[in-house]
């Protein structure tokens, strides 16, 4: 199993700055929600492993389409 956790954290912050329309990023088991601020800054906040595994509509700010798109998406092997 690959562990992208630390390299993805840096990359997700960079992508959040460069891609203003992106709201969620994911790679294998790591998912990040992008918070955007009034000064134009953006920050990626990693989801916990539990949240990634049990994701619900509420985790996607009530967006049923996002939840539906990822409902059967395999996030790889889990290492709790």
Q: What is the block-wise mean pLDDT of the chain (80 residues), using blocks of 10 residues? A: 54 81 81 86 85 87 89 66
pLDDT score for 12? 76
In a domain, 13, yes or no: yes
Q: Please state the domain count of the chain.
A: 1
Give the pLDDT confidence score for residue 69 in this predicted structure.
86
Asked whether residue 75 is domain-assigned, the answer is no
Is residue 47 within 8 Å of residue 32, measured between CB atoms? yes
Residue 61 belongs to domain spanning? 5-70
Neighbouring residues of 45: CB distance < 8 A, sequence distance ≥ 6: 32, 33, 34, 35
Q: What is the pTM of this model?
A: 0.64
């Amino acid at each position: 199993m690959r562990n992208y956790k630390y390299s993805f954290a840096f990359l997700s912050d960079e992508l959040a700055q460069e891609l203003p329309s992106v709201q969620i990023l994911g790679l294998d088991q790591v998912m990040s929600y992008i918070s955007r601020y009034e000064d134009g800054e953006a920050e990626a906040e990693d989801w916990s492993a539990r949240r990634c595994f049990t994701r619900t509509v509420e985790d996607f700010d009530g967006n049923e389409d996002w939840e539906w798109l990822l409902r059967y998406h395999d996030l790889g092997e889990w290492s709790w």
